[in-house]
Amino acid sequence: MAGDRNQNAYTTARIVRHYAQLGALQPAEKTVFDRLRDRLPGMKMLDLGVGGGRTTKHFAAIVADYTGIDYSVAMIAACKQRFAASSQALFAVCDARDLSQFQDNSFDLILFSFNGIDYVSHVDRLKVFQEVCRVGKPGGYFFFSSHNLQGLEHAFDARKQLSLNPFKTYVNLVMLGLLRCFNRSMTLKQLQASAHVVVRDESHNFCLQTYYVRPEEQLSQLNAHFNNATVYAWKSGLALTGASELVANADLWLYYLCSID
C-alpha cells in the first residue's frame, strides 16, 4: 500500500538524518508565528508529524505545553536525542489518523507542517481532519501545509519548463522527464480535470506517494470541521486574499490556517 511505503520511507536512516538537521521555519510559518506570537505563551500545542524536531526548536520554549508526535519511531528517537537537555518538550510515537491517546478539546494550537498530511490516503486525510477537530479546543487553531495541484500542473507542462537560461531549461526538462516516467498513466489533461491526485514526485528521490490538492478543494474539505480558513503562499508567506489569487498560485505547496469549530 502507498501509505505503508511512505511510512517505511520515514524510518530509513538517510531520511531521518535529513529531517534531524533541519531548523528553519518556512516563510508562511514565520507569518503565522508572528500572528500568534502574543497568544503562544498561553497555548497548549500538538505538533503532528514532528519529524526531526524542526518546529520544536521554535515553539517548545514559547508555548505553555508542547507535545510532538510522529508515526515514525526513528523520527521520535531523533527528536528525543536532539532535545535531550530540554524539559519543555514531550515526544511520543503516534499516528495522526488515530489520536485516541489524547482527550477531546485538549489543544489550543495544532500544527502539521512540511506537508505531512499529504502522505496518507484521501480517506485517511479526512480522518486526520476529524481527529484534529476532536482534540482541538473550540476556537483553537489548526495550521498545516499541503501540496498544490496547480504547482504540479506547472511542473507537468513542458512549455513552462523553458527558460532563457539553457542550464535551467535542461534541469527543468530532466525533472519533467523523471516526473512523467514515474507517473506514466498521468497526463497534463488529467491533472487539469482533477480536484486532487496522488503521484510519485521528486520527494526523497521519488520514493514517496504524494497527495496534491487544489486550494478550492482543500478549503471544501475543511468546511466540515473548521472555519475562517486563510491560505498562505509558500514562497512569500503572504495571505492569498481572493479567488483569483488562489487559482493563479503555482507554488508547489500552500499553508492553511483555520479555526476549530
Instruction: Please report, for the domain that includes residue 140, its CATH number.
Output: 3.40.50.150
On whether both 196 and 130 belong to a single domain, the answer is no
On whether both 67 and 40 belong to a single domain, the answer is yes
| Per-residue pLDDT band at 3 (split at 50, 70, 90) | low
Q: For the purposes of burial, counting CB atoms within 10 Å of the CB of 149, is it exposed (0-12), middle (13-18) or buried (19 or more)?
A: buried
Cell triple for residue 77?
528517537
On whether both 156 and 142 belong to a single domain, the answer is no
* Cell 504547482 found at: 151
On whether both 112 and 160 belong to a single domain, the answer is no
Asked if residue 205 belongs to a domain, the reply is no
The C-alpha atoms of residue 220 and residue 128 are separated, in whole angstroms, by: 15
Write down the pLDDT at residue 239. 97
Whole-Å CA distances, 224 to 47, 133, 259: 22, 10, 12
Q: What percent of the chain has pLDDT over 90?
A: 93
On whether both 117 and 232 belong to a single domain, the answer is yes
Asked if residue 206 belongs to a domain, the reply is no
**160 has pLDDT over 70:** yes
pLDDT for 63-116, tens place per residue? 999 999 999 999 999 999 999 988 889 999 999 999 999 999 999 999 999 999
pLDDT for 115-147, tens place per residue? 999 999 999 999 999 999 999 999 999 999 999
Asked if residue 19 belongs to a domain, the reply is yes
Asked if residue 111 belongs to a domain, the reply is yes
Asked if residue 220 belongs to a domain, the reply is yes
Cell triple for residue 255?
499553508
Residues 6+ apart with CB under 8 A from 103: 135
Asked if residue 209 belongs to a domain, the reply is no
On whether both 12 and 97 belong to a single domain, the answer is yes
On whether both 88 and 186 belong to a single domain, the answer is no
Residues facing residue 111 across a β-bridge: 47, 143
On whether both 141 and 164 belong to a single domain, the answer is no
Domain span holding position 190: 151-200
On whether both 123 and 175 belong to a single domain, the answer is no
The whole model's pTM is what? Answer: 0.95
Asked if residue 210 belongs to a domain, the reply is no
On whether both 31 and 97 belong to a single domain, the answer is yes
* Cell 535531550 found at: 84
On whether both 124 and 157 belong to a single domain, the answer is no
Structurally, the chain folds into a number of domains equal to 2
- Contact yes or no for 219/234 (Cβ under 8 A): no
On whether both 7 and 114 belong to a single domain, the answer is yes
- From the list 117, 110, 62, 71, the residue with the least C-alpha distance to 92 is 71
- Contact yes or no for 163/173 (Cβ under 8 A): no
H/E stretch holding 89 reads strand 89-93
Asked if residue 176 belongs to a domain, the reply is yes
What stretches of 127-174 adopt beta strand conformation (E)?
A: 136-148
Write down the pLDDT at residue 161. 93
